[in-house]
């Protein structure tokens, strides 16, 4: 591989590993120093490799370079010595003459886990947590993050910096969470990772590669949690299963021009069977203990959707899962999906009665659902509902889907 | 929006009044769909809670094992919902599956 391709790939995989290790070593107050050292390491790599060629083991080369740069930095910088060195000494054995920068697999994994829990700290808003996660845990640059959020760079830059400042103000420790901390905080961590995934999966950004990257990164972080014994919990596996099932349809759900292809119209041959199998595996791993998280329910629903054939058993199961999900936590979109499942089990007339009780009159999906339910019963009413939906829809792809529904009725 | 306590009572004792296993299965599904429907309308004011069927009864003479069945019906469960007024709460209660087995729903508004 040419280094033009190699370096960006290594950057994606190694940047956050080294940053995590250095951040864990330096503490949250010096997070920028860690980032600077690692950025500088990659810059040096880029310069050196283009002259001398790619080293035999590029990753090891990067680790050695990062270690040396860190040691040099510590020697050179007096401010750093007096300020941080004392902090570091607390955590390293006193008889150790030199600070050990441990880039072993185990320490990388531990540091990454510590960083995940630091980044997903509820002292920052969810939006800020996601941006920070992309930056610190996934090695995404400001450009990519602003692309993903469809926001401008300035806004993202400020958001990330404010989030870092907040972590410093609150003096959040970067350390491996204890079991009781994990129990308290795993919900927040999983939620942030799921939001990160959804950002990629549902984003209206046309940049498919970037969106896929977000999904992959969310899955990588979840896998990291699974690999660590203390965070390998039933709900972590359930979230992983859910993401595998969703991702299995990634290629089938958008057309050549980026338009959304609805589930019923998807080409099943584009579904990724390997991911479905992985999802099934994680779903079975999740069914231990007695916690039934919303990820279990959502993964269950997603599992039934990997079976394309419409059977009453399939929809009865989906309805049951949606019932449990909506009872656990109200959300308009779950309410609408539940009603759709109800129409598959009890028929459209029964579902219309239920749908009309939902009263989600500012939601275009609500009118799309009513339009869909009325389609074979009263096409005039169906048309009215779809037109209301069209008026409320904001994104081009949503409008296109509704317009297609209207065309089919006419 | 007000909050209402809905108490479900039915006869759990008389043998003839009890559902068959198949009926019970169907009955549970009805409950589940009813709760799902209420939740979808965002009418649940509190998370659902299961309650032990037997319980204890305490009076000045001491404590005895429940349930309290001086009237034939005993409490099967209770939920707290959101509704505009007694009329809406009653309308919601009309859909309650307990009615299918001769039970009833008592409604109280939170004041």
Q: CA-to-CA distance for A99 and A89, rounded, in angstroms?
A: 8
**pLDDT classification of A256: cutoffs 50, 70, 90:** confident
Of A320, A328, A338, the CB nearest to B40: A338
Question: Is pLDDT at A93 greater than 70 in this prediction?
Answer: no
Q: Are the CB atoms for A78 and A30 separated by under 8 Å?
A: no
Percent of chain B that is helix, strand, coil (3-state, to 5): 35, 30, 35
> By a Cβ cutoff of 8 Å, what residues of chain B touch chain A?
29, 32-33, 35-37, 39-42, 44, 47-48
Q: CA-to-CA distance for A213 and A224, rounded, in angstroms?
A: 16
pLDDT of residue A97: 44
Write out the H or E segment, with its range, that includes residue A190.
helix A179-202
pLDDT digits (tens, 9 = 90+) for A8-60: 888 888 998 999 999 988 888 888 889 999 999 999 999 999 899 889 999 99
Chain B positions in Cβ-Cβ contact with residue A357 (cut-off 8 Å): 37, 40-41
pLDDT digits (tens, 9 = 90+) for A294-326: 999 999 999 999 998 889 999 999 999 999 999
The residue-averaged pLDDT of A214-233 equals 93
**pLDDT classification of A86: cutoffs 50, 70, 90:** low
Token match 């880029």: residue?
Answer: A46
Contact (CB<8Å) A357/B32 = no
* Contacts (Cβ under 8 Å, ≥6 apart) of B65: B54, B55, B56, B57
Q: CA-to-CA distance for B17 and B7, rounded, in angstroms?
A: 19
**pLDDT classification of A81: cutoffs 50, 70, 90:** low
pLDDT of residue A84: 61
pLDDT of residue A336: 95
Chain B positions in Cβ-Cβ contact with residue A319 (cut-off 8 Å): 33, 36
pLDDT of residue A2: 57
Give ipTM to 2 decimals. Answer: 0.84
Contact (CB<8Å) B36/A334 = no
pLDDT digits (tens, 9 = 90+) for B19-73: 888 888 888 999 999 999 999 999 999 999 888 888 888 888 888 887 776 667 8
Lowest mean pLDDT among A91-105, A114-128, A183-197: A91-105
The residue-averaged pLDDT of A345-365 equals 94
Question: Is pLDDT at A387 greater than 70 in this prediction?
Answer: yes
pLDDT digits (tens, 9 = 90+) for A146-204: 887 778 899 999 999 999 999 999 988 888 888 888 888 898 899 989 988 988 888 76
Q: Are strands B56-59 and B62-65 parallel, antiparallel or unpaired?
A: antiparallel
Chain B positions in Cβ-Cβ contact with residue A338 (cut-off 8 Å): 36, 40
pLDDT of residue A116: 92
B contact test, residue of A324, A325, A327 with most B CBs within 10 A: A327
Q: CA-to-CA distance for A74 and A81, rounded, in angstroms?
A: 6
A81-90, A99-108, A259-268, B96-105 — which one is most confidently predicted on average?
Answer: B96-105
Q: CA-to-CA distance for B14 and B64, rounded, in angstroms?
A: 21
For residue B102, what is the DSSP state? T
């Amino acid at each position: 591989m040419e280094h033009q391709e190699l370096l960006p790939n290594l950057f994606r995989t190694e940047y956050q590993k080294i940053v995590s290790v250095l951040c864990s070593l330096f503490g949250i107050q010096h997070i920028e120093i860690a980032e600077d050292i690692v950025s500088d390491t990659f810059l040096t790599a880029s310069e050196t490799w283009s002259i001398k060629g790619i080293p035999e083991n590029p990753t090891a080369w990067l680790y050695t370079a990062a270690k040396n740069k860190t040691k040099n930095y510590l020697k050179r910088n007096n401010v750093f010595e007096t300020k941080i060195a004392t902090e570091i000494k607390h955590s390293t054995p006193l008889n150790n003459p030199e600070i050990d920068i441990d880039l072993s697999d185990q320490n990388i994994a531990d540091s990454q886990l510590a960083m995940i829990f630091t980044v997903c700290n509820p002292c920052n808003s969810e939006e800020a947590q996601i941006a920070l996660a992309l930056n610190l845990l996934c090695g995404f640059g400001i450009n990519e993050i602003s692309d993903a959020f469809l926001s401008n760079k300035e806004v993202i830059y400020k958001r990330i910096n404010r989030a870092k400042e907040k972590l410093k103000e609150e003096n959040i420790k970067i350390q491996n969470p204890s079991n009781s901390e994990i129990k308290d905080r795993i919900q927040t961590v999983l939620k942030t990772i799921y939001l990160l995934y959804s950002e990629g999966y549902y984003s209206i950004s046309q940049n498919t590669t970037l969106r896929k990257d977000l999904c992959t990164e969310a899955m990588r972080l979840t896998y990291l949690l699974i690999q660590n014994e203390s965070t390998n919990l039933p709900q972590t596996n359930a979230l992983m299963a859910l993401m595998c099932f969703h991702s299995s349809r990634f290629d089938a759900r958008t057309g050549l021009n980026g338009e959304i292809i609805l589930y019923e119209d998807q080409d099943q041959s584009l579904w990724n069977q390997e991911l479905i199998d992985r999802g099934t595996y994680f779903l079975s791993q999740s069914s231990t203990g007695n916690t039934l998280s919303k990820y279990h329910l959502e993964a269950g629903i997603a599992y039934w959707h990997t079976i394309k054939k419409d059977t009453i058993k399939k929809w009865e199961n989906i309805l049951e899962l949606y019932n449990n999900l909506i009872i656990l936590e109200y959300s308009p979109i779950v309410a609408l999906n539940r009603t759709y499942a109800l129409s598959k089990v009890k028929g459209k007339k029964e579902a219309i009665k239920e749908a009309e009780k939902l009263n989600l009159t500012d939601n275009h999906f609500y009118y799309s659902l009513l339009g869909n339910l009325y389609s074979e019963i009263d096409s005039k009413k169906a048309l009215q509902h779809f037109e209301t939906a069209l008026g409320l829809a904001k994104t081009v792809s949503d409008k296109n889907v509704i317009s297609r529904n209207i065309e089919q009725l006419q | 929006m007000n909050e209402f306590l809905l108490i479900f009572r039915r006869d759990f004792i008389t043998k003839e009044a009890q559902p068959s296993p198949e009926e019970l299965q169907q009955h549970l599904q009805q409950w589940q769909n009813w709760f799902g429907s209420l939740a979808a309308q965002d009418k649940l004011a509190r998370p659902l809670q299961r309650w032990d069927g037997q319980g204890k009864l305490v009076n000045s003479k001491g404590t005895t094992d429940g349930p309290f069945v001086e009237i034939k019906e005993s409490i099967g469960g209770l939920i707290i919902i959101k509704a505009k007024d007694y009329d809406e709460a009653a309308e919601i209660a009309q859909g309650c599956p307990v009615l299918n087995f001769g039970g009833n729903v008592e409604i109280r508004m939170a004041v």
